[in-house]
Amino acid sequence: MEKWARFRFTPCLPMGADGKRITGSAEHIALSREAAAEGMVLLKNENGLLPLKGGQRIAVFGKAQYDYVKGGGGSGDVTVSYVRNIYDGLKIKEAEGKIEVYAGLIDFYRTEIEKQYADGKYKGLTSEPELPSELLDRAAAYTDTAVITICRFSGEGWDRKGEPGDGDFYLSAAEERMVNDVLSRFKNIIVVINAGAQTDSEWYHSNDRISSVLYAWQGGMEGGLAIADILCGDVNPSGKLADTFAKRFSDYPSSESFNESDNYVKYYEDIYVGYRYFETVSDAYDRVNYPFGFGLSYTSFDISDIRVHEDSGSIKISAAVTNTGAMSGKEVVQVYYSAPQGRLGKPALELGAFKKTDLLAPGETRRVFMEMPVEFMASYDDLGKIQHSAYMLEKGSYRFYIGNSVRNTVKADFEYIVPEDVITEQLTRRAAPSKLEKRMLSDGSFESMPSFESCTERTAPMASDASAPAEKAMLIDVFEGKLTLDEFMKQLTDDEVIGLLYGQPNTGVADTSGMGNLEKYGIPNVMTADGPAGLRIVPDRGVTTTAFPCATLLACSWDPELIYRIGVAGAKEAKENNIGIWLTPAMNIHRNPLCGRNFEYFSEDPLITGKMAAAKVRGIQSQHIAASAKHLCANNKEVDRYESDSIVSERALREIYLKGFEICVKESQPWTVMSSYNLINGTRASENYDIITGILRDEWDFKGMVTTDWVNHADETKEILAGNDIKMPFGFHDSVRESLNEGRLTRADLEVCAKRLLEMIMKL
């Protein structure tokens, strides 16, 4: 009752200890810094150059030390009271006597970058200034150890570039000159990359002169401090890649078709996304610099005594992890399975389970336990090669590989034998493509695809036979069990019901609108706010919040418990600011490095994506704040996202692009899901009955409410029929009214959607 009162009367009470505000509190910012260091990935550390030791002198190059990018732009941005850049972090370590930093360089970069900001350049989109040679001389006279910093920014509504010299995926010409200058004058070279997604790794991977590389992602408001923590060894890195780092941009199988058209994207590579491609297709294997799951530590680990067995339909795995080095650290144990090729064809390896250890002291051993349901290894037969529209465990031997990256594993003794093909789930065809001519097979060749007809079979909802209460009832009466929601609905006029189906005016600090707002019946106007890296409140509202690291970094922590804590912290900030629906987690798949919003999404792998999202949702909803898992689905490109048709096989949809959502929904039931802007095989996501009702609700048993993405181009009547309940941030009342008058919609159609909204509101 108390929880609900908050949203009825919207008091904005400080929620921290001793009457202090918790929003942007020291406690939450400390969590942000802790998380940042957990997900940064040490890619290279030859000669043990890192951690820096004993008052080591360093010279720091690159504008990124000052122009640090905390996260991406658009709705995934967060308004903060400050950001600590890389130089800030290193200065603190200097004050602690751990290192000495050459001061002349920061003066140069600060002046140059401030000038560019004054000229209107956006943070993170400045150009690398030309380094004066006297400065280089002076820095080289000071020390033989250089840190090169590189940053990247991307945002909503645009995609990144992937051409050599572009200063985006690749280094710009000015950056290359800076790198070469540094290489020519310094003996020891460390590289720090501050980006939200993959960038070119070949320049440091193939260069023996560069000893150490920290892929620091976009680490939130104290990301610069977390970088310094790792460089100086105050934190031992434990992040592991959740995306494959290929040699060149063109090596990703989706690169060729990524920019083929503004109107569509054809997912020819099918299920062979990320490591599923590089580990499977033979000539792709050598085109990887840093494999999925890879990340170094300042200590070493031994994974031994691996035990795998099957018990009651689950594969159970355990392994002993020993810290064999000299520094405390954490290791991530990863379990990959290899399913028989059979008739459907399979990736060589697929992630089945994972577990990050606690901090292990040198010499300490800890046993970790993991499990996965046997059906998780099934593949979807969308062409009826064995059984149409069924998840199949094909006959043969299923093998297990355990290690600390997809390429550093040990094969377990145990094999799971399936004597005959088994159907694990018989489904029906949903959202199949009519325009995908071909798709990739496991040997890298392509098979041609038939053209499927749409298969929507909509069942119209039955009108409830409840009758209106004798006296006017309020929503609190439903909450208190005095009448049913069906009875409550009966007292609302058609126009009142229609009014519940779209966004409502902003109140308080919100700018993304509210839902509900029928005061007459005590239905509060519940505000929404973004986003994945923290609660986003626009600057003019005067409230700053905590910016957590970007989702790509969080995925590299491989630590769902950490993400749960971020969910709890962000939800408390939402609650304190009278926001009821936090528009996160964003969980589209990293199909290609260039998608402008990859920083908001977790990984190329659906299991990590699903587990991280599920953990965040659990954290958020433990605070009685609604999470909104977004964007359902196949929203993997930003340019022309309102009109772009994602043309993709049903198998790839189910095994890759929907799988993360499926895991999240089944594990943690988000109270809301947000449909995406794009079309899926010719039908707009929010009008897509197959996806929203057929799969999300009927197959996965999703109990919550579905909202559109903001200001989409879809038709509200079709959305209601598809099961998309709410149109945001506003709707088209008259057009829905007309559909009702003309019989395209029934009162029951409207009530179903409105009831889902009210059920959600009563959970807050």
Instruction: Quickly count helices (H) and strands (E) in the chain.
Output: 22, 30
Distance between CA atoms of residues 668 and 610, nearest Å? 10
Shortest distance (Å) from residue 630 CB to ligand BGC = 5
Shortest distance (Å) from residue 677 CB to ligand BGC = 7
Shortest distance (Å) from residue 528 CB to ligand BGC = 7
Task: Find the binding residues for ligand BGC in span 63-122 (CB under 6 A).
Answer: 75
C-beta closer to ligand BGC: residue 712 or 739:
712
Amino acid letter, residue 73: G
Contacts for 311 with CB less than 8 Å, ≥ 6 apart: none
Decide: residue 420, CB within 10 A, 0-12 exposed, 13-18 middle, 19+ buried: exposed
Distance between CA atoms of residues 571 and 565, nearest Å? 10
Please report whether residue 513 would count as binding ligand BGC according to CB under 6 A.
Answer: no
Contacts for 485 with CB less than 8 Å, ≥ 6 apart: 478, 755, 758, 759
Which of 195, 440, 497, 583 is in the footprint of ligand BGC by CB under 6 A? 583
Token output for 682: 């010719």
C-beta closer to ligand BGC: residue 638 or 749:
638
Task: Find the binding residues for ligand BGC in span 597-636 (CB under 6 A).
Answer: 630
For residue 334, give the 3-state DSSP assignment: strand
Shortest distance (Å) from residue 99 CB to ligand BGC = 40
Shortest distance (Å) from residue 529 CB to ligand BGC = 8
C-beta closer to ligand BGC: residue 51 or 585:
585
Number of residues that bind ligand BGC (CB under 6 A): 8
C-beta closer to ligand BGC: residue 575 or 631:
631
- Among the listed residues 251, 709, 725, 749, the single catalytic one is 709
Amino acid letter, residue 23: T
Shortest distance (Å) from residue 709 CB to ligand BGC = 5
Please report whether residue 727 would count as binding ligand BGC according to CB under 6 A.
Answer: no
Token output for 289: 């610099």
Shortest distance (Å) from residue 710 CB to ligand BGC = 4
Which of 277, 416, 602, 710 is in the footprint of ligand BGC by CB under 6 A? 710
C-beta closer to ligand BGC: residue 661 or 710:
710
Antiparallel, parallel or unpaired: β 523-529 and 672-675: unpaired
Element (H, E) at 515: strand 514-518
Beta strands in 357-499 (DSSP E): 365-373, 379-381, 390-393, 396-405, 408-418, 422-426, 438-440, 446-448
Annotated catalytic residue 709: yes
Which of 77, 112, 269, 709 is in the footprint of ligand BGC by CB under 6 A? 709
Distance between CA atoms of residues 45 and 204, nearest Å? 11
Q: Which residues pair with 706 in a beta bridge?
A: 673
Binding mask 21-40 for ligand BGC (x = CB under 6 A): --------------------
C-beta closer to ligand BGC: residue 502 or 710:
710
Distance between CA atoms of residues 516 and 518, nearest Å? 6
Shortest distance (Å) from residue 362 CB to ligand BGC = 44
C-beta closer to ligand BGC: residue 512 or 578:
512
Distance between CA atoms of residues 50 and 53, nearest Å? 8
Q: Are 614 and 560 a contacting pair, CB within 8 Å?
A: yes
Shortest distance (Å) from residue 75 CB to ligand BGC = 4
Token output for 648: 């993709």
The b-or-e profile of 729-756 (16+ CB within 10 A means b, else e) is: bebeeeebeebbeeeebbbebbbbbbbb
Task: Find the binding residues for ligand BGC in span 187-246 (CB under 6 A).
Answer: none
Q: Where are the alpha helices (DSSP H) in 465-550?
A: 475-479, 485-490, 494-499
CA dihedral of 341, 346, 347, 353, whole degrees rounded to 10: -100
Token output for 331: 């290791």
C-beta closer to ligand BGC: residue 583 or 587:
583
Please report whether residue 530 would count as binding ligand BGC according to CB under 6 A.
Answer: yes
C-beta closer to ligand BGC: residue 12 or 538:
538
Q: Where are the alpha helices (DSSP H) in 543-628?
A: 551-556, 560-576, 606-621
Binding mask 122-161 for ligand BGC (x = CB under 6 A): ----------------------------------x-----
C-beta closer to ligand BGC: residue 521 or 710:
710
Q: Residue 87: how many CB atoms within 10 A of its CB?
A: 22
Beta strands in 152-251 (DSSP E): 188-194, 210-215, 245-246
Shortest distance (Å) from residue 621 CB to ligand BGC = 17
Contacts for 170 with CB less than 8 Å, ≥ 6 apart: 162, 163, 164, 199, 200, 249
Distance between CA atoms of residues 69 and 90, nearest Å? 16
C-beta closer to ligand BGC: residue 77 or 112:
77
Contacts for 252 with CB less than 8 Å, ≥ 6 apart: 246, 277, 592, 593
Shortest distance (Å) from residue 530 CB to ligand BGC = 5
C-beta closer to ligand BGC: residue 439 or 631:
631
| DSSP 8-class letter at 576 | H
Concatenated DSSP letters of 549-560: PPHHHHHHTT-H
Binding mask 543-582 for ligand BGC (x = CB under 6 A): ----------------------------------------
Q: Are 639 and 684 a contacting pair, CB within 8 Å?
A: no
For residue 34, give the 3-state DSSP assignment: helix
Shortest distance (Å) from residue 701 CB to ligand BGC = 25
Task: Find the binding residues for ligand BGC in span 629-668 (CB under 6 A).
Answer: 630
Shortest distance (Å) from residue 676 CB to ligand BGC = 8
Please report whether residue 512 would count as binding ligand BGC according to CB under 6 A.
Answer: yes
Q: Where are the alpha helices (DSSP H) in 624-746?
A: 650-652, 659-668, 689, 716-722, 733-741
C-beta closer to ligand BGC: residue 251 or 530:
530
Residue 637: which region, alpha, beta or left (left: phi > 0; alpha: psi -120 to 50)?
Answer: beta
Distance between CA atoms of residues 379 and 388, nearest Å? 12
172 φ, ψ (degrees, to nearest 5): -80, 165
Q: Are 290 and 45 a contacting pair, CB within 8 Å?
A: no
For residue 9, give the 3-state DSSP assignment: helix
Binding site for ligand BGC (CB under 6 A): 75, 156, 512, 530, 583, 630, 709-710
Catalytically annotated residues: 709
